[in-house]
């Protein structure tokens, strides 16, 4: 909502000045699309996907170990002394806590890695948006999101040119 009000205020300010409509050139960029379709964005996705696959194998191994411990505990429960059964239960609970901590740490690490990569790429994309906007004489460039840009003709969509310029810059 705040973003929409800011855009409206900017547009009001632009139209209330002496700038004529002929001098006004407006464009928009879909930053999410640029992030997803740029080569740097695709590489970041692959990096995250690779980490997820690596961690998935470790998580699967730990899950199987926990399942085996639980099954052994259930099978041997009647045969073990109270003390031995209690020790096995403590061992199982400890390993379960370690597993939960491990999966939580993995999720946090993956989220942080994703956020760091995304932030860096978006910073670079925004610089390219400014360059493309200046080079092509745009007065105003808006971000296309569902909440801030209700309608805009596709003829003022700069996203593809921004992606091309961004990818060319990264080569």
- What integer pLDDT is reported at residue 8 of this predicted model? 54
Note the pLDDT tens digit of each residue in 11-58: 556 655 555 556 789 999 999 999 999 999 999 999 999 999 999 999
Token couple for 125: 């994309």
Per-residue pLDDT of 119-157, as tens digits, reads 999 999 999 999 999 999 999 999 998 888 888 888 898
Count, residues in the chain: 171
User: 72-90 pLDDT, tens per residue?
Assistant: 888 887 888 888 888 889 9
Separation between Cα atoms, residue 148 and residue 7, nearest integer Å: 8
| Whole-prediction pTM | 0.71
Residue spans per domain, the chain: 17-170
166 closest CA partner among 28, 29, 30, 39: 39
């Amino acid at each position: 909502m705040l973003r929409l009000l800011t855009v409206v205020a900017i547009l009001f300010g632009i139209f209330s000045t002496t700038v004529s409509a002929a001098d006004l050139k407006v464009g928009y960029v879909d930053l999410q699309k640029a992030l997803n379709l740029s080569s740097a964005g695709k590489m970041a996705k692959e990096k995250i996907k690779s980490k997820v696959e690596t961690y998935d194998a470790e998580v699967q191994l730990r899950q199987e170990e926990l399942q085996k411990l639980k099954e052994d505990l259930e099978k041997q429960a009647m045969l073990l002394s109270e003390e031995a059964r209690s020790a096995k239960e403590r061992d199982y609970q400890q390993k379960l806590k370690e597993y939960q901590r491990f999966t939580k740490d993995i999720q946090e690490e993956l989220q942080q890695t994703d956020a760091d990569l995304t932030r860096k790429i978006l910073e670079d994309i925004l610089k390219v948006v400014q360059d493309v906007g200046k080079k092509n004489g745009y007065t105003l460039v808006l971000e296309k999101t569902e909440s801030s840009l209700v309608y805009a003709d596709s003829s003022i969509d700069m996203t593809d040119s921004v992606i091309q310029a961004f990818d060319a810059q990264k080569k």
